[in-house]
Each structure stands twice: as structure tokens, then as C-alpha cells.
Amino acid sequence: MKIIKTVGMLACISLPLMLTASVSADNYPDRPISTIIAFGAGGNTDVGARILFPAVERELGVPLNIINRPGGGGWVGWTQLLNASNNGYTLGYINTPNLITGYMDPQYRRNVNLDDFDLIANHVTDYGVISINKNETRYSNIDELVAYAQSNTLTASTTGANGDDHIAMLKMNHHYDTRFVPVHTTGTAEQRAAIQGGHVDVNFSNVGDTNMAHRSGDLKIIAIMAPERSEFIPDVPTLDELGYPGVISWSARGIAAPKGIDPDSLARLEAAFIAGMQDPEHLAKMAEMGLKVDIRTGEDYRAMLEEEEQGVRSLSDLLGW
Amino acid sequence: MTIDTALLLSVFAQLASPDVLLMLCVGVLGGIFLGALPGLSATMGIALLIPVTFGMQPVAALVLLSAIYAAAVYGGSITAILIHTPGTPASAATAMDGYQMTLRGQGLKALGTSTLCSVIGGMVSVVALLLLAPPLAQISLRFSAPEYFLIAVFGLTIIGSLSSGAMAKGLSAGLLGLLISLVGVDVMTAYPRFTFGVAELENGISLIPAMIGLFSISQVMIQAEKLHNAKLHSSDVPKLEGSLFPSRAEWRKLRGTISRSSIIGVLVGCLPGAGGDVASWVAYNEAKRNAKNPDDFGKGEIEGLAAAETSNNAVTGGAMIPLLTLGIPGSAATAVMLGGLYIHGLQPGHELFTVNAHIVYAIIVGLLLANMLMGIVGLALAKQVVKVASVPFAILAPIIVVLSVVGSYTINNSMFDVYVMTAFGLLGYLMRKTGFSTAAIVLAMILGAMAELGFRQSLVMSKGNLLGYYFDRPFSLLIMGLILLALLSPLLLRWKRKRALRVLQSS
């Protein structure tokens, strides 16, 4: 008994020592990596990660363990990520615009910005779309909708205050004097029911959660708020094409680490995630879900997030900040 | 309706394949286990299994996922009945009468009734899914914010009667619950209410840890106190005699309740904004209102148990109706299943029932089989499982506490939730010692958030004409009528009784 105890105690003491000793970039990674997902199991971010990770694990040679930490619109998980060690064994998904509105909104007094993260790679960019009920008679295209909304108050469903749908709606009001008022819902299911049941006048959502309903005729997408058309709904023109420039909307999610990770480890992670994201099976599954894999790393990824920051800043009056 | 023989044959051929049958068994057993343990949920199980199903045939994969869903809702009742620890929020109403039956030595009968009712509710909902999916999906689309607000208010009418006899105590417990449901980010303005800078509070107080504290921890404390005071030992354990099945007289009494609760479950299940937790309370309320002996509810009335268990399983098939026909999930677990459908290249909607009919009908019939299997397993295991109630409390108590801690932590991988559970455990103990209803708090937490969201959304949707908006909607009017009926019927009954008494006296 005594011997077992001693051996056990030695193991308990020496194991963490061994682990700390091995944190050098040469053999990184040599043990499982934790990945914090700031949303619940089964959400879009979570499912996307579970599709991607097997391919990345093959590249890295160690498991990527998912830790779901939902709450606070993502901020419970992101706070944990920011407080984690930057030894490369804790990563996390960051989601825009919630991350950015979350630290820019003065109501929350958060002392965080993009510099607190080391960005690894963007995974998915899901552009915004404007859709209407399939039996809508007051307007059938964007010109008629904008004209109608300039003289009438119209209710618009979104997936939450300060989310991408809400910001897109405010951008429309800002640029084109429309009078959309937001009806914030708690998620895609409720939002879809609201527009398909005709309880709201117009719906601001994303390609990922609306493209199938559009293809099956359950609702009608009249414009995509993206620089170019989407492969999932090629028949839908962009707002820019239709003569309404200046309103681009997306929600994006990618992988980041707490600031200060070893540069060699960062390069190793970046390479593994790029390779994993290019895996054909991953790409096929994401396409089935209507999600656009949009691989961006380094400065490219950072520029995208800074553009989002800039866009939110220009709306701070409308958001009441 | 013409029956397509080729389709029928194809459905049975697919279901008879060994991997589908294996997944059916795995799903049912795994689901019961997930459901019975507080903190582990069907939603979580399905989310974790979706990547595992990549390599499977679509039918095997979706039969697995839907079997887990149905069985987990049933599994939640087992621990609710035996140890007053609801495995899921949908089983909170089950604990009310189920545990009282166990204390009276009728644990076996409570388990048997719960199993049978779950199977009946589940089967009714699958039949509705099979035959009535398109019209029910259309009805579900007619429900929006105003109706959700009114359903929540309808459910809240039960609060007054939850502390038997002490209306004021019931109402104040309900108000406390409503107050708790205010914590968290305001959905319409994103303002963090009562969060004190704690990010964990931004999504509100988590329901499951609070419920585990109020039901399980308070129960452990009360039992421990009794044990200490009376110096009782193993003799305090409830007896296990009695039959597994309800008597014929009880069946006759339950018939109405079971049919009513099945319908309530299917309808609530169809609605994307309400699930098993809401359905079980609405059904419980209706059963109580229609019962000859409403005062027995909460004291081990078999009808209360039957209402809750029938309706929460009837939600499962109901929730799949908008999922399969519209791609709009009717509950959290089916929202996760939607991803599973997409990944297997199955697009919800008309096409699913035409081009992919052989797959979707195989899944639906598979769910029917899962419900049957769930019943067989449940009844077969009942005699063994019920022994949990006869384990000496000194052994059982630490196990319940450990399960409560682990369960609270697992929901969000959060230590904060364990503190929430502990705080609510203390609150629950104090409330029960002073005769306040802990169920009223749970009910108000479930419905308070739903009522607030619905009302706030409908304020915007009505564009300034709130009353006109509510009175212009047929379902909104219908539910308002039901609320009035629920509020006035006890008064009317009392008035009638008084008049009868007066007539009797004067004659």
C-alpha cells in the first residue's frame, strides 16, 4: 500500500514538472490542446469545429479537446481564453461581431481589444442576407422594399441586439433612410418562424441559416450583403450590384490564442489549421451545411477584423454608445 | 390515404438492417442513461455524437439521434421519481407527485406509470408526425411572440395553487422566480441586468443548476435532518411492494389525462419557442384543473405524474414536425439534429417527404420502434431500478450530492454553476422548511423569461397598437380565453358550491 502511495505521489509531483519542461517549440505540440468554444455543444460554431478538428488533429498529431463555455454572448469563453496560459495548449474560437461589439460596447466596460489575441486562422465567413415572406405582396425586390421602408416603419427580425443582423439593419437605416425597427430573437429557429409565419415584415439573417429555405421556396432572399454572390444562392444579387453600396455584413469565426504564444508554435498551428481546412471531407460537409469556408491568416485575418471594428465604430451613434 | 407498398417495403428493409437495429438499442439505452443523470442532456449527447455519425448510413445515424432524444426525456423521470432529482427540466413536474408516490411505497407503480405514459405520449406524437405533419407545421407558424407571451402567462396561472392552501406563499415564491429570471442581458437592448460585472450571469441564472439545487440538494438536507433528529436508520426506507402497473380503476381515471396531455405535448412540441419543460407544466395544470381531487396534486397523485410524463414525451415527435417539414427545430435537441440532417445531405421540407421519402419514413418508423423499445427496457428494468429508493439514505445522500455537483458543472463546464446550485440548494431548504413551494420558482424561471421575451417582441411587432394586435390574432384570442377560464373556474366552482350549500341549509 505504502509503495503504491509513494509512487502515486511521485507521479503527481513529477508529471506537471515533466509537462512544463517539455514546453519548447521544437516538439510542440506533444500533448492534447484544449480549444474553448464560447457557444454550446451543437451550435453552428461547435458543429463546424467538430467537423474540422479531425483533419487538424491528423496534422498536429495530438488531440484537440473541445471545451464548450457558453454564456454572455460568447464572453464567458473569451474571458477564459484571455486568462489562459499562452503556452499554446489553450486555443479558442473567436466570433465576430460579438467579440468586437462586446469590447466596444461601453455598457460592459471591458478592457480588451484585438491586440490581446494572437490570431491563427479564420475558418468560416457567413455573409448576411435580407429575406421576405414568400407570399409578401407589398414589395418583391430590394428597390420596392427600400422605397416602402422609407415611408413606413417595418419590423425586422435579427438574432440578437448588437449582432451582425442588427448592425446590418442599422447600416441600411443609416445609408438609405429606411425605417427598420429590430425584433431581436434568441436564435435562428425563432427568427425563421417569425418571417415564415409573416409575423415580421423583413428578416436580416445569414446565408448559412437561410439558404436552404430559400432554395425550397419557404422564404425569399432578395439580396446578399456581400462583396460577391454566394455559391449556395447564386441567383441572389448583391446589394452593391443592385445599386445599394456600403452595406456589407458578415459573421466570421476563427481560431485564436491568448497573446504572446511562441512564434514557432504559432506558425506550426497556422500551417496545421490551413491544411485541415483544405481537407476535402471537411469542405464537403461544410458545403452541405451552407457554410463558406474562408481561410485567412496573419495580416489578412487581422485586416478583416479591423474592418469590422471600423464598421461598428461608424455606427456607435446608432447603437447608442 | 394510399399506402405505397414499395415505400413500405423499403422502410422495413432499411430498419431491419443490423446497424440500424444496433443504433436503435444504443440510442435507447444511452438516452435513458443521459436523461437520468442530472446535467447530462439529450442535446449534449446528440451534439457529441454527430461527428461519430459521419461514417454511418443516414437512417442509422438519425435513428440513433432521435432515439437518444426520446429516451433521454423519459430517462429524466426515473431519478425525479426515485430520488427527487429531475434529470432534465422537463421532469421537474414529474418529481412533484412521482417522489411522493415513492415515499408512500408506490415507487414501482410510479415508474411503471411513467414508463407507460411516456411510451403512449411518444407514440401519439410519432403518429402525429407521420400523419399530420404538414397541417401542424402550418399551425406552428401561426404562433409568434404574442402567443408565446400568453402561453407563458397561462402556465403561470398554476403558481397560485402550487403551495397547497397557502396562496400568498405560492405567489411570493413565483414572484421570486420571476425576479430571478430578470438576471442577464436584456434581449432587446443588450443591457446587462443585475450581472454585477460577472460574465457568467449574462445569460441569466442557469436553470438546470438552480433546479438541481432547489429539488435535489434541498431534499438531501431535509432527509439528513430527519435522520439526525429521529436517529432513524435503514428502517426509514420506503417499502418496495406494490404492483408495477396502475390498477384498472386508476387506468380509467388516467384515460382523460393521458389523451389531453398527449395533445398538449404534441402542440407545444411543434412550437419552436417552447419545449418539454413548458409542456409538462401546462399539462400538469390542466390535469389538476380537470381533476375531481385537485387537492391531492403534489401529494402523490398518479394523475399529476401521468400528465407530466405523457406530455413531455409527446413533445419529442411534435418537435420533429417543424424540423422535418420546415427546417425549423421545435426544441434545443432538434436544433442540434438539424445539423445532423444537413451533414447527411437531407434537406428538410417538401423534398424530404418526396425524393427522400424512403429515408424520412424509415427515421419516423424508427422513432416509433425506439419508443416501444424504451417501454420494454423501462418496464424490464423498473424492478431493479426501484431498489435505488431502498438504498440507505446515508449511502444515497453523498451519491446524490456528487451527481448534483458533477451535473451542474457539466452543463456549461462552469464552476460558477456549481456555486449557483449550492446557493439554490440552501434557498430550497429554507423555503421548504417554511412552506414555500420550490416548484413555483422553477416554473417562474422557465416561463418568466419566455413571457418577457414574447411581450417585448410583440411590443415592437404591434407598431404601437398593442391591444389591436393581440385581439386581431385568432390563437392569441383562444389562449386569452383559456387564461380567463383557468382564473375564473375556481371562483365559479366556489360560488356554485356556496349556493348549493345555502340551498341545502334553507331547505
Answer whether B342 touches A (CB < 8 Å): yes
Residue A11 has pLDDT above 80, yes or no: no
State the pLDDT at residue A1: 44
Does residue A199 sit within a domain? yes
B68 contacts on A by Cβ (under 8 Å): none
CB-based contacts of B418, cutoff 8 Å, min separation 6? B209, B405, B408, B409
Q: DSSP alpha helices (H): ranges in B42-106?
A: 42-49, 58-83, 92-103
B140 contacts on A by Cβ (under 8 Å): 193
Average pLDDT, integer, range A89-97: 94
**Cα–Cα distance between A143 and A241 in angstroms, integer?**
12
Angle at B499 between CA B495 and CA B503, to 5 degrees: 175
State the pLDDT at residue B241: 65
- The angle, 0 to 180 degrees and rounded to 10, between the axes of the packed helices B302-326 and A188-196 is 70
Q: How many helices (H) and strands (E) does chain B have?
A: 21, 2
Q: Verify whether the Cβ–Cβ distance B342 to A153 is below 8 Å.
A: no
**A241 and A260, same domain (yes or no):** no
Answer whether B185 touches A (CB < 8 Å): yes
CA of A42 to nearest chain B CA: how many angstroms apart? 5
Run of H or E including B327: none
B51 contacts on A by Cβ (under 8 Å): 50-51, 54
Which of these three, A233, A250, A267, is where a domain ends? A250
Q: Verify whether the Cβ–Cβ distance B144 to A194 is below 8 Å.
A: yes
**A136 and A237, same domain (yes or no):** yes
Distances (CA, A) of B504 to B292, B490, B499, B500, B507: 21, 21, 8, 6, 5
A-facing residues of B in 98-157 (CB < 8 A) are 140-145
Q: Verify whether the Cβ–Cβ distance A68 to B141 is below 8 Å.
A: no
**Cα–Cα distance between B268 and B458 in angstroms, integer?**
19
Answer whether B200 touches A (CB < 8 Å): yes
**A234 and A199, same domain (yes or no):** yes
**A144 and A89, same domain (yes or no):** no
Average pLDDT, integer, range A83-112: 92
Q: Verify whether the Cβ–Cβ distance B197 to A109 is below 8 Å.
A: yes
- Report which residue type is found at B87: G
CA of B154 to nearest chain A CA: how many angstroms apart? 20
**A233 and A290, same domain (yes or no):** no
CA of B457 to nearest chain A CA: how many angstroms apart? 6
**A66 and A175, same domain (yes or no):** no
From the list B51, B200, B326, the residue facing A71 with the nearest CB is: B200
Instruction: Report DSSP letters for A258-315, one per residue.
Output: ES---HHHHHHHHHHHHHHHT-HHHHHHHHHTT--EEEE-HHHHHHHHHHHHHHHHHT
Q: Report which of residues A126 and B389 the model is more confident about.
A: A126
Question: By mean pLDDT, which of A184-198, A238-252, B232-246 is the weakest?
Answer: B232-246
Q: Verify whether the Cβ–Cβ distance A289 to B339 is below 8 Å.
A: yes
Instruction: Report DSSP letters for B207-249, one per residue.
Output: HHHHHHIIIIIHHHHHHHHHHHHHT--GGGSPP--S-SS--HH
Domain that holds residue A291: 32-126+251-313
Instruction: Report DSSP letters for B253-295, one per residue.
Output: HHHHHHHHHHHHHHHHHH-TT--HHHHHHHHHHHHHHH-S-GG
Cis (ω within 30 of 0) for the bond into A32?
no
From the list B202, B326, B457, the residue facing A73 with the nearest CB is: B202
Q: Verify whether the Cβ–Cβ distance A107 to B463 is below 8 Å.
A: no
Q: For residue A215, what is the domain's CATH number?
A: 3.40.190.10
Number of domains in chain A: 2
Number of A/B CB contacts below 8 angstroms equals 156
Q: How many helices (H) and strands (E) does chain A have?
A: 11, 10
State the pLDDT at residue A20: 46
- The angle, 0 to 180 degrees and rounded to 10, between the axes of the packed helices A164-176 and A142-151 is 70
CA of A183 to nearest chain B CA: how many angstroms apart? 6
Q: Please say whether the beta carbons of B219 and B442 come within 8 A.
A: no
pTM check: above 0.95? no
A-facing residues of B in 346-365 (CB < 8 A) are 347-351
Q: Please say whether the beta carbons of A137 and A240 come within 8 A.
A: no
From the list B328, B339, B345, the residue facing A47 with the nearest CB is: B339
**A181 and A294, same domain (yes or no):** no
Q: Verify whether the Cβ–Cβ distance B460 to A181 is below 8 Å.
A: yes
Average pLDDT, integer, range A97-123: 92
CA of A258 to nearest chain B CA: how many angstroms apart? 18
The greatest distance separating any two alpha carbons of chain B, rounded to the nearest whole angstrom, comes to: 80
**A121 and A156, same domain (yes or no):** no
Q: Is B332 helix (H, G, I), strand (E, B) or coil?
A: helix
Does residue A24 sit within a domain? no
A-facing residues of B in 219-278 (CB < 8 A) are 272-273
**A236 and A259, same domain (yes or no):** no
Instruction: Report DSSP letters for B440-477, one per residue.
Output: HHHHHHHHHHHHHHHHHHHHHHTTT-HHHHHHT-HHHH
Which of these three, A250, A282, A297, is where a domain ends? A250
Q: Verify whether the Cβ–Cβ distance A212 to B143 is below 8 Å.
A: no
Domain spans of chain B, in order of start:
5-506
Question: By mean pLDDT, which of A6-20, A109-123, B363-377 is the weakest?
Answer: A6-20
Residue of A nearest to B456 (CA): A183
Residue of A nearest to B55 (CA): A281
**Which residue from B244, B205, B110, B217 is spatially nearest to B420, judged by alpha carbons?**
B205
Instruction: Report DSSP letters for A106-121, one per residue.
Output: GGG-----GGGEEEEE
Q: Verify whether the Cβ–Cβ distance A41 to B199 is below 8 Å.
A: no
Q: Please say whether the beta carbons of A167 and A159 come within 8 A.
A: no
**A225 and A136, same domain (yes or no):** yes
Q: Please say whether the beta carbons of A209 and A230 come within 8 A.
A: no
Does residue A15 sit within a domain? no
Cis (ω within 30 of 0) for the bond into A97?
yes
A218 contacts on B by Cβ (under 8 Å): 326-327, 349
Q: Verify whether the Cβ–Cβ distance A189 to B272 is below 8 Å.
A: yes
**Cα–Cα distance between A77 and A93 in angstroms, integer?**
9
Per-residue tens of pLDDT for chain B, all 507 residues? 456 788 888 888 888 899 999 999 999 999 999 998 887 888 888 888 887 887 888 999 999 999 999 999 999 999 999 988 888 888 999 999 999 999 888 889 999 999 999 999 999 999 999 999 888 988 889 999 999 999 999 988 888 767 666 788 889 999 999 999 999 888 888 888 998 888 888 888 988 899 999 999 999 999 888 888 876 554 455 666 678 888 888 889 899 999 999 999 999 999 887 888 899 999 998 898 888 888 888 888 999 999 999 999 999 999 999 999 888 888 888 888 888 888 888 888 877 888 888 899 999 999 999 999 999 999 999 988 888 888 888 888 999 999 899 989 988 888 999 999 999 999 999 999 998 989 899 999 989 989 999 999 999 999 989 999 999 999 999 999 989 988 887 788 778 878 888 887 776
**A224 and A206, same domain (yes or no):** yes
State the pLDDT at residue B289: 84
Which of these three, A208, A224, A250, is where a domain ends? A250
The greatest distance separating any two alpha carbons of chain A, rounded to the nearest whole angstrom, comes to: 84
Angle at B276 between CA B271 and CA B280, to 5 degrees: 115
Q: Verify whether the Cβ–Cβ distance A79 to B335 is below 8 Å.
A: no
Does residue A147 sit within a domain? yes
Q: Report ipTM (2 d.p.).
A: 0.83
CA of B207 to nearest chain A CA: how many angstroms apart? 13
A216 contacts on B by Cβ (under 8 Å): 327, 347-351
From the list A76, A186, A199, the residue facing B199 with the nearest CB is: A76
Run of H or E including B388: none
Answer whether B474 touches A (CB < 8 Å): no
**A88 and A182, same domain (yes or no):** no
A215 contacts on B by Cβ (under 8 Å): 347
Residue of B nearest to A194 (CA): B144
**Cα–Cα distance between B400 and B403 in angstroms, integer?**
5
B47 contacts on A by Cβ (under 8 Å): 40-42, 46-47, 50
Grid coordinates of B45: 449527447
CB-based contacts of B339, cutoff 8 Å, min separation 6? A42, A44, A47, A289, B50
Q: For residue A270, what is the domain's CATH number?
A: 3.40.190.150
Does residue A143 sit within a domain? yes
A51 contacts on B by Cβ (under 8 Å): 51, 343
Q: Is A234 helix (H, G, I), strand (E, B) or coil?
A: coil
Q: Please say whether the beta carbons of A37 and A46 come within 8 A.
A: yes
From the list A108, A183, A290, the residue facing B461 with the nearest CB is: A183
